[in-house]
Amino acid sequence: MENSKITITRALKEQMLQHARKELPYEACGVISGSADRGPLQFYPARNELQSTTRYHIEPHDLYRIIMDIEEQGHEIWGIYHSHPASPAYPSETDLKQSYYPDAYYLIASFADVKKPVLRAFRIVDKQVEEVEIRVK
């Protein structure tokens, strides 16, 4: 698969981790806009309508508002982000079942060690997981 490495800014990473920290002990979620040539551009935090420690579902109104804004900007859904409060930064069975965006990167932040959160990225196509290396600049 092409694009086995992605580059995100430190600021974008911090925004995602801060949002997840704020939502603990629940899973946090959000969307990252971007474009094929410019990469990731903006993080949109969203509510997890499940308010669960092990699952997430982006609140539908949030998702609608986010997608409208991304389209208005002429951008695309670049990534889907969520956190794992206590488990590793790897897609769960549930994550595989609800991976509706084969063109997006799936970013997962683990807070199993709350002082040292781990952020990893994946492509999920037909429930097949492939890790993508994250570079932070």
Q: Give residues with Cβ within 8 angstroms of 6, minimum separation 6.
A: 39, 40, 105, 121, 132, 133, 134, 135
* Measured distance CA(95)–CA(131) in Å, rounded: 14
Contact between 62 and Zn ion by CB under 5 A: the answer reads no
Q: Which residue blocks in the chain are alpha helix, DSSP H?
A: 10-23, 60-72, 93-97
Instruction: Name the minimum Å distance from CB 121 to Zn ion.
Output: 13
Beta carbon of residue 38, minimum distance to Zn ion (angstroms, whole number): 27
* Minimal CB distance residue for Zn ion: 95
Instruction: Pick from 35, 51, 52, 92 the residue near Zn ion by CB under 5 A.
Output: 92
Decide if residue 42 touches Zn ion (CB under 5 A): no
Residue 52 touches Zn ion, criterion: CB under 5 A = no
Complex with Zn ion: residue 52 or 92, whichever CB lies closer: 92
- Which range touches Zn ion (CB under 5 A), out of 1-9, 65-73, 92-100, 120-128? 92-100
Largest interatomic CA distance in the chain: 38
Of 33, 40, 79, 95, which lies in the binding site for Zn ion, with binding defined by CB under 5 A? 95
Let me know if 108 is exposed, middle or buried by CB neighbors in 10 A (0-12, 13-18, 19+): buried
Name the residue among 108, 28, 36 with its Cα closest to residue 77: 36
Window contacting Zn ion (CB under 5 A); options: 37-45, 62-70, 88-96, 129-137: 88-96
Q: Contact residues for Zn ion (CB under 5 A)?
A: 92, 95
